[in-house]
């Protein structure tokens, strides 16, 4: 189920044309499970992994997760693995405005899927990333993902925290990313894997010690290489959020250099008047999350059409 550049361009153009406000009905969220964490949650968990909150009260604790799975049994599931941009850091209401929540309420998907948000702020794909800031050590990876049922699509959008100055190791990232994709396939062999190159970062975020120096010029290439080298038996496809962001609002992100070939420019109205990045130059704004949700919903809808 590989996509050619031409067909992917059609998907992206369609997403932009259809972009608009997507409301999440607060009265009907049984199909959306938000298990995402802030950085502080990660620290508290590693300080006391057997604490009462993680075992009992967390939305994805064993008993609560089992109850949710029982209530939603039979509906295909989309799992969102990622970092702070999947978590929705900086948004007024993360649970409502982060792109996984918008996917759940998106008109193109018509609530056919249940969505699980497994985003963890500050996390990385590299296993040896210093401290506990790696996705592999999280209960999301070790306890939640393996037991999810009816998984149809797994979206992986990691790498921004790997590509920081002083941390970035291309070979290590590639090897661990390959292993992660292969492990996901082993857990959910019938799921389609979507590997997403994370959104670009602005100039202010890419400069200086500890900055996100390699997000815009090396990360995307490594994700593509790793995805191809994984030799997955499961269907998979790619999406490049750097091209999506820069192609949609190049004037606002003029300080950003996108990975690889630049998207073709299309004459169409500018539907989002605000910047797609927050002031820190790293995290997507509400408009950015809307665009990510629109793009992914269009892609997922097209995959469903091909499968049928």
pLDDT exceeds 60 at position 5: no
- 248 compared with 226, residue with greater pLDDT: 226
Nearest to 166 by CA among 129, 220, 140, 137: 129
Sign of the torsion formed by the C-alpha atoms of 255, 257, 258 and 263: positive
- Average pLDDT of span 47-73: 91
Cα 72 from Cα 33, distance rounded (Å): 10
Mean pLDDT (the chain) is 81
Q: Which of 30-34, 81-85, 204-208 has the lowest mean pLDDT?
A: 204-208
Strand intervals (E) in the chain: 32-34, 77-82, 114-119, 151-157, 192-197, 236-240
The Cα diameter of the chain in Å comes to 55
Q: Quick one: pLDDT band at residue 216, thresholds 50, 70, 90?
A: very high
- Average pLDDT of span 271-293: 84
Give pLDDT tens digits for 118-136.
999 999 999 987 655 899 9
Cα 27 from Cα 224, distance rounded (Å): 39
Cα 256 from Cα 238, distance rounded (Å): 21
- Cβ neighbours of residue 31 closer than 8 Å, sequence gap 6 or more: 72, 75, 104, 111, 113, 114, 115
Asked if 106 contacts 121 with a C-beta cutoff of 8 angstroms, the reply is no
Length of the chain: 308
* Residue that has been written with the tokens 């959020």 in this structure: 241
pLDDT score, position 161: 94
- Average pLDDT of span 164-189: 95
* Residue that has been written with the tokens 């929705």 in this structure: 88
pLDDT score, position 228: 93
| Domain ranges (residues) in the chain | 5-303
Asked if 77 contacts 114 with a C-beta cutoff of 8 angstroms, the reply is yes
- Average pLDDT of span 23-29: 35
Q: Quick one: pLDDT band at residue 248, thresholds 50, 70, 90?
A: low
Nearest to 261 by CA among 242, 276, 275, 236: 242
Q: Which of 17-26, 115-124, 264-273 has the highest mean pLDDT?
A: 115-124
Report the b/e string of 216-236 with b at 16+ CB within 10 A: bebbbebbbebbeebebebbb
Cα 29 from Cα 196, distance rounded (Å): 25
Q: Quick one: pLDDT band at residue 139, thresholds 50, 70, 90?
A: very high
pLDDT exceeds 80 at position 84: yes
CATH 3.30.450.20 fits 5-303, yes or no: no
Asked if 217 contacts 26 with a C-beta cutoff of 8 angstroms, the reply is no
pLDDT exceeds 70 at position 25: no
Cα 91 from Cα 98, distance rounded (Å): 7
């Amino acid at each position: 189920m590989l996509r050619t550049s031409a067909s992917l361009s059609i998907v992206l153009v369609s997403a932009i044309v259809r972009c608009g406000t997507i409301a999440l009905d607060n009265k009907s969220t049984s199909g959306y499970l938000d298990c995402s964490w802030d950085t502080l949650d990660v620290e508290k968990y590693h300080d006391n992994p057997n604490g009462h909150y993680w075992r009992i009260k967390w939305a994805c604790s064993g008993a609560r997760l089992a109850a949710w799975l029982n209530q939603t049994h039979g509906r295909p599931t989309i799992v969102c693995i990622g970092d702070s941009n999947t978590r929705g850091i900086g948004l007024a209401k993360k649970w409502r405005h982060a792109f996984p929540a918008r996917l759940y309420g998106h008109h193109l998907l018509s609530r056919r899927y249940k969505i699980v948000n497994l985003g963890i702020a500050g996390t990385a794909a590299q296993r040896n990333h210093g401290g506990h800031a790696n996705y592999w050590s999280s209960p999301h990876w070790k306890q939640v993902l393996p037991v999810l049922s009816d998984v149809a699509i797994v979206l992986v959008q990691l790498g921004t925290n790997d590509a920081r100055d002083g941390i970035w190791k291309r070979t290590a990232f590639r090897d661990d990313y390959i292993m992660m994709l292969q492990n996901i396939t082993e857990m959910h062999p019938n799921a389609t894997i979507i590997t997403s190159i994370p959104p670009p970062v602005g100039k202010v975020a890419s400069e200086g010690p500890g900055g996100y120096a390699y997000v815009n010029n090396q990360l995307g290439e490594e994700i593509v290489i790793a995805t191809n080298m994984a030799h997955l038996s499961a269907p998979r496809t790619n999406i490049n959020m750097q091209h999506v962001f820069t192609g949609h609002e190049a004037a606002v992100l003029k300080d950003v250099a996108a990975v690889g070939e630049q998207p073709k420019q299309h004459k169409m109205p500018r539907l989002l008047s605000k910047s797609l990045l927050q002031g820190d130059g790293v995290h997507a704004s509400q408009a950015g999350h809307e665009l990510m949700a629109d793009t992914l919903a269009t892609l997922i809808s097209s995959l469903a059409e091909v499968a049928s």
